Chain A
Amino acid sequence: MKKDWPLWEVFVRSKNGLEHRHFGSLHASDAEMAIKNARDVYTRRKEGVSIWVVESKNIKASNPDDNTVLFDPADDKAYRHPTFYDLPDNVEHM
């Protein structure tokens, strides 16, 4: 049975105001079942307030062979990081 079920990626928002984060993947026959399975597999310890699921086949991943073009040019551009500012203490989740 299991081999017929597609794979789904699960994203959970742990608190309102935060973004959905990738939690893992699971098998389910449809999107409804994927959400219910996600509830059992990933949010049974009160981890979330919202769940997204997307079928894994719908995700386009970058090719590791392209890493040179995609990522290397950023290596020597430290000024693109916002590290030259002092963040006020009350800015959370940065």
Chain B
Amino acid sequence: MKSKELSHYIFGIADNALILGQRLSELCGHGPTLETDIALTNIALDLLGQTRTYYQYIANLSTDGLTEDDVAFLRKEREYRNVLLVEQPNTDFAYIIIRQYFFDVFHYMFLKELQKSKDVSLVAIANKSIKEVGYHFQFSGDWVKRLGDGTDESHQKAQQALNDLWVFTDELFHTSEIDKSIIESGIGVETTSFKENYYIQISNLLKEATLDVPEIQYFQEGGKQGIHSEHMGYILAEMQHMQRTYPNMKW
């Protein structure tokens, strides 16, 4: 029972990395320049690599012989626990960068706390991942500044993306009842401890980028409970296609 709860908690971390990694990998070969294309694909690979370490851990915890591929490719939409933010589409480069920045800052602060977890496996994953994520938020933060403080058009597109994606930020900090028991046992991360800091850091960078911080107090949620946006089904259809068509196939 204990390991089931822990798996539930880890899905809440790992599925964000999986779905954002999948979203970014859609851009492989389509980036605005060769250099940004490679950078975004590198980030996608980092995230998918991190996902694997979490899923391997979940596979180890499982008593019914689950593999990392099973949990990546054979769950149903309702069983994925990623936040709505990471499934939002690659509308344009500004959306990609703002989505990335919102996630990266959270991800970095989260991993920093996870390094103090009582679970040694999660600490090891956090120690490895945080070096990669430290670069991710430098990359996305630099681009937020360039777009916001760039041309009139880039500023307007960045502001638009910011206004549209802002409503998805609050969900990053949500926790389920099961999550709470894992957090109380010292394994999970108390996200409220850095929430204020998160919004301060984001707002400071947005100001530097000459962008307006939205004053929206209404936030979207649902992904963490498995209730996803209309985009999620399409992501899974593409991602799961090979395993569903050729069950148990291997590379």
Contacts and interface: CB of A to CB of B under 8 A. Distances in A.
A88 B220 CA distance: 70
A1 B35 contact: no
Interface residues on A, range: 10 to 19
Given A33-B142, A36-B142, A27 B35 contact: yes
B147 to A, nearest CB: 11
Contacts of A28: 35
A14 interface: no
Contacts of A93: none
Nearest to A28: B35
A43 to B, nearest CB: 11
A2 interface: yes
A41 B139 CA distance: 14
Contact of A37 (B32, B35, B146): B35
A52 to B, nearest CB: 17
Contacts, number: 30
Contacts of B225: none
A36 B39 CA distance: 9
Interface string B21-33: 0000000000011
Given A33-B142, A36-B138, A36-B142, A1 B39 contact: no
Given A36-B138, A36-B139, A26 B146 contact: no
B35 A41 contact: yes
B153 to A, nearest CB: 10
Given A29-B146, A33-B142, A40 B33 contact: no
B71 interface: no
Contact of B32 (A1, A26, A33, A39): A1
Contacts of A32: 142
Nearest to B38: A40
B156 interface: no
A27 B38 contact: no
B42 interface: yes
A32 B138 CA distance: 11
Contacts of A23: none
A56 to B, nearest CB: 15
B139 A5 contact: no
Contacts of B39: 36-37, 40
A63 B38 CA distance: 34
A46 B32 CA distance: 25
Contacts of A44: 38, 42
A32 B146 CA distance: 12
Given A29-B146, A33-B142, A36-B138, A5 B33 contact: yes
Interface of B: 32-35, 38-39, 42, 135, 138-139, 142, 146
18 contacts: A1-B32, A5-B33, A26-B34, A27-B33, A28-B35, A29-B146, A36-B39, A36-B139, A36-B142, A37-B39, A40-B35, A40-B38, A40-B39, A40-B42, A41-B34, A41-B38, A44-B38, A44-B42
